[in-house]
A and B are shown apart, each in its own frame.
Chain A
Amino acid sequence: MKTETLIGKSVPRIDSIRKATGAAKYTADLFLSGMLHAKVLRSPYPHARILDIDTSKAEQLEGVRAVITGKDTKGVKWGVFPYTQDHGMIATDKVRFIGEEVAAVAAVTEEIAQRAVELIDVTYEELPAVFDPEKAMKDDKLIHEDRGTNINVHVDIDVGDVDAAFGEAEIVLEDVFKSAGEAYAMMEPYSVVADFNSEGYLDLWIPNAGPHVRAKALSNLLKMPLNKVRVRKIDIGGAFGGRSEVSPSDVVTALLSIKSRQPVKLVLSREETFTATRQVHDMIVYLKTGADANGMIIARDARVIYDGGAYSSTGPIATSVPFYVYEETYKHPNVRYNGYRVYTNKCPRGMYPHHGRAYQVAMTTHMDMVAEKLGLDPMEIRLRNANRSGDHTATDSVISSCGLSESITMTAEMSRWSEKRGKLPKYRGIGMGSMGLMCGFPMGFRSGATAFIRMNESGQITLFTGMVDNGQGNENMVVQITAEVIGIPMEMVNLVNADTEMTGHDPGAYSQAATFVGGNAVMRAAQDVRRQVLAASAEMMKVAPDELDITNGMIHLKNDNEKSFFIARAARYAMSNGGNIVGKGSYFPKISRDREWVKNPRGQMGGTYSFNTVVTEIEVDPDTGIIKMLDVWAAHDCGKPINPATVEGQIHGIVSRGGVATYMEEIDWDRGQVLNPNLLDYKVPLATDMPEMDVELITTNDPEGPFGAKEGGLTASMNVYKAIVSAFYDATGVWLKELPFTPEKVLKALAKKNN
């Protein structure tokens, strides 16, 4: 086996020079000739029947090229699953949230489009609205009449004998936990450019987390053949789970371009990005926990309510994932989980890196409460309940490689845990959060990926992959893998990616599958190329292929670097004897094919699992109620880091989004209207809010992952807020149960304790 030269090195990312010089092009940066500008008319009501839409005045305005309403759609409703198709993308009969798309205009300037939108007359009949999911569950105001209920999804999992286990439990706890939803707040406002050309092709540039999935959704919604809908490569300013699904803006812009036969650009304002694109679920968790005298959690009964907003979005997945990430981490012998995703009159809610924060906080807090009652160190109770390699989860997944215990002990050492927990001065505390996470989850035939590679006569190669980069470094990752496998410098690899016309399928940059699934396919394509190069070279040199090696683009006999030649000669030899060297690689994870989120929640969930622990030390200001993270230590089992600095960067970002968010971030509502739809009132953490972070990467070399790699960073986001909850207790002796822990909640809790 040749020594790895690139894997595990923090080489600068290939996308960074264009981003550092302003050359990177994001969707809003595109200017096509004849391009029109779009504006959307949105619902001013949280719930109303549309009686009439009159677009005649808008159509007559000079400069207007197309006006569309729900009538221009093909009547197809969007849903990730056949049983969740409830979202018409442009409202027809009813509007179900403030900001919902009602009509749209394309005009020669943005100002004319805006004026035209204001000229559209819509007659509404206001309907009673419901914003509280628990009230919505009573079904007296139906948001989708045809469904007969406001319960959008019910996930029911019952494993073991929960009631008997509670009967045997030494300690039984019951509490209610809540969390407010956050905003993704990616720095790039949502934008779409659509170009429908005379040959009937629709080209689209969209911030997305999976171009192939997006193209298929649009092909269904527009009733166009899939080969006519082409999602093209574009730089993307962040996703965080918020750009995985097709968006109404995509449909609106596409329809305007089809109708006007001109390219159309839609750039949402920051406010629209906050109020009319999917954001994060509010949650309520009713949890009962039973533990034995050794601190083993033997019973759990959870009733979890997700405020889903007006449409299904990723409903069944969103209602399930919090349960799975817990069972992938800790033993769960007897568990009953009832997850309800409920329709309310709010913009639909989607998935976020730490989706389900109230659930994880509930589970961890109860674990810490048990530890407290038994006089156990919180670290110890985590280790006792932790999954280990080879363990089975409650719903029958096998954990192949597991560095959970290592991550716990490593962060304990890094943070000098045992010197600090319970021993820090008043209002200072240290806490720990641990979590495992599946790398990829079943998405039917979409769960796998295919990549191609072509070599030119100069020995340079072009890699074609559906892999998209939202900022996490995926482009660099696939180039680094390719160069390593073939044995060429990264500069010899051109990348064509995230373009549905030119690349093979890829599941997308969500579900933590990019490296594990997409990277695996790329690795196999590169292995195919390498095999062909070596075969051609062996023929030329009249030796066996396994006597040869490739180093830095030079082909040579193993153990003999003297006699070598440049890889281009092999490429030309192959061209003279059959054709270009072209490699192909596919990977499909070893997951259960008949698992279904609602109907059959059993079987292998992910191809592998990554693990992470975060420890944080915090300070609580008893005068202002403001929490500050002082230090963060994280240890992450990512299998094997392809590019360590990239993985570190993922964890750093997550500490801000998952951690500081614990005490700052929430979307504020008033009767269905977002009160803080801007970057001043919504509190995205700033550089001065962030602590210095110390990140260690644990190598467990996953047997399936490319070079042993698994997911690279997301897991931390499930941990940092749990660490803060635990640290807050250490600092104050109070369990906070409602996220975010804003200063006023902190002061109230402290006052209650002191009285």
Chain B
Amino acid sequence: MGDRSIKLIVNGYSYNVSVPAETTLLEVLREELQLTGTKFGCDTGECGACTVLIDGRPFRSCMTLAVEVEGKRITTIEGLANGGELHPVQKKFVELQAIQCGFCSPGMILTAVAFLGENPKPTRQEVRRAISGNICRCTGYQKIVEAVIAASKINGGGRK
């Protein structure tokens, strides 16, 4: 059996791609669609840099097969801002300097967005737990926690 033709809905656009079953969502996003905001960090699900939202929930695209997400709503970091306007979580990451090298930021931001959807008014400790599967080597997480809390205080902080 050869490649499978599937339809993906990424950031509101639909794409037809033809891939073999073993293709991960990360590979399709980066190599086929050239949406390189989703990062390759470890390829074994340990770092969280490749996190994307599937129907609003966080998934590691390196452990998700492309054929599994056919027809599902995929949001990558490139699709989070609404037109020119940053999502409240992005806005607060920028304002409060929760970003240093930026390599973990796409996965971190999307994890935080999904989490605020589950828990719109979290405590700092809850934020820490929610993002504890996303590794950041630069920030010590302090400003990330501050940014997520600040975003939760903006109307629509939980918007996805």
Contact between chain A and chain B defined by CB under 8 Å: yes
CB contacts (< 8 Å) of B59 on chain A: these are none
Are B104's CB and A656's CB within 8 A?
no
Partner of B137, one of A24, A240, A267, A687: A240
Are A238's CB and B135's CB within 8 A?
no
User: Which of B30, B47, B104, B132 has most A Cβ within 10 Å?
Assistant: B47
CB contacts (< 8 Å) of B95 on chain A: these are 12
Within 8 A of B (CB), among A465-479: 470-473
Are B99's CB and A16's CB within 8 A?
yes
Number of residues of chain A lying within 8 A (CB) of chain B: 58
B90 on the A face (CB < 8 A): yes
CB contacts (< 8 Å) of A189 on chain B: these are 40-42
User: Which of B38, B86, B100 has most A Cβ within 10 Å?
Assistant: B100
Are A235's CB and B137's CB within 8 A?
no
Interface residue tally on B, bucketed by range:
35 or more
Are B42's CB and A649's CB within 8 A?
no
Binds B, one of A151-159, A180-188, A308-316, A430-438: A180-188
**Contacts A187-B41, A678-B42; A471 near B101 (Cβ below 8 A):** yes
Are B101's CB and A237's CB within 8 A?
yes
Partner of B109, one of A20, A28, A187, A651: A20
Chain B interface, >50% SS class: loop
Task: Tell me the minimal C-beta distance from A333 to chain B in angstroms.
Answer: 37
Q: How far is the CA of A28 from the CA of B36 in the complex (A)?
A: 9
Q: How far is the CA of A685 from the CA of B128 in the complex (A)?
A: 12
CB contacts (< 8 Å) of B81 on chain A: these are 21
Task: Tell me the minimal C-beta distance from A177 to chain B in angstroms.
Answer: 26
Q: How far is the CA of A470 from the CA of B138 in the complex (A)?
A: 10
B152 on the A face (CB < 8 A): no
**Contacts A21-B90, A187-B137; A688 near B129 (Cβ below 8 A):** yes
A428 on the B face (CB < 8 A): no
B96 on the A face (CB < 8 A): yes
A540 on the B face (CB < 8 A): no
CB contacts (< 8 Å) of A235 on chain B: these are 101-102
A89 on the B face (CB < 8 A): no
Are A31's CB and B47's CB within 8 A?
no
Are A237's CB and B36's CB within 8 A?
no
A-B contact count (CB 8 A): 180
CB contacts (< 8 Å) of A657 on chain B: these are 137, 140
Task: Tell me the minimal C-beta distance from A410 to chain B in angstroms.
Answer: 19
A396 on the B face (CB < 8 A): no
Task: Tell me the minimal C-beta distance from B143 to chain A in angstroms.
Answer: 6
B34 on the A face (CB < 8 A): yes
Q: Can you name the residue of chain A whose Cβ is closest to the Cβ of B145? A: A687
B76 on the A face (CB < 8 A): yes
Q: How far is the CA of A470 from the CA of B41 in the complex (A)?
A: 16
CB contacts (< 8 Å) of A21 on chain B: these are 37, 77-78, 80-81, 86, 90
Are B101's CB and A16's CB within 8 A?
no
B136 on the A face (CB < 8 A): yes
Chain A interface, >50% SS class: loop
Q: Can you name the residue of chain B whose Cβ is closest to the Cβ of A270? A: B42
CB contacts (< 8 Å) of B132 on chain A: these are 686-688
Q: How far is the CA of A379 from the CA of B82 in the complex (A)?
A: 53
**Contacts A20-B94, A687-B131; A186 near B101 (Cβ below 8 A):** yes
CB contacts (< 8 Å) of A472 on chain B: these are 100, 138
Are B37's CB and A187's CB within 8 A?
no
Q: How far is the CA of A692 from the CA of B142 in the complex (A)?
A: 7
Partner of A25, one of B36, B38, B124, B133: B36
B97 on the A face (CB < 8 A): yes
Interface string of A1-24 (1 = CB under 8 A from B): 000000000101101111111111
Are B99's CB and A690's CB within 8 A?
no
CB contacts (< 8 Å) of B34 on chain A: these are 31
Are B101's CB and A690's CB within 8 A?
no
**Contacts A649-B139, A680-B46; A20 near B93 (Cβ below 8 A):** yes
Partner of B141, one of A28, A656, A679, A680: A656
A654 on the B face (CB < 8 A): yes
A645 on the B face (CB < 8 A): yes
A-B contact pairs, 9 of them (CB 8 A): A12-B97, A20-B93, A20-B99, A21-B77, A21-B80, A22-B106, A188-B101, A237-B103, A686-B135
Known contacts A20-B99, A186-B137, A653-B100; 17 further A-B pairs (Cβ under 8 A): A13-B94, A19-B101, A187-B136, A188-B41, A237-B103, A238-B138, A267-B40, A471-B100, A471-B138, A649-B143, A652-B143, A653-B140, A657-B137, A679-B41, A687-B141, A687-B145, A688-B129
Query: Could you tell me which A residues sit within 8 Å of B by CB distance?
Result: 10, 12-13, 15-26, 28-29, 31, 184-189, 235-238, 240, 267, 269-270, 470-473, 645-646, 648-649, 651-657, 678-680, 684-688, 690, 692-693
- Shortest Cβ-Cβ A-B pairs, 9 listed: A22-B37, A471-B101, A19-B102, A237-B103, A652-B140, A22-B77, A29-B36, A187-B103, A679-B46
Query: Could you tell me which B residues sit within 8 Å of A by CB distance?
Result: 30, 34-44, 46-47, 49, 76-78, 80-81, 86, 90, 93-97, 99-106, 109, 124, 127-129, 131-145
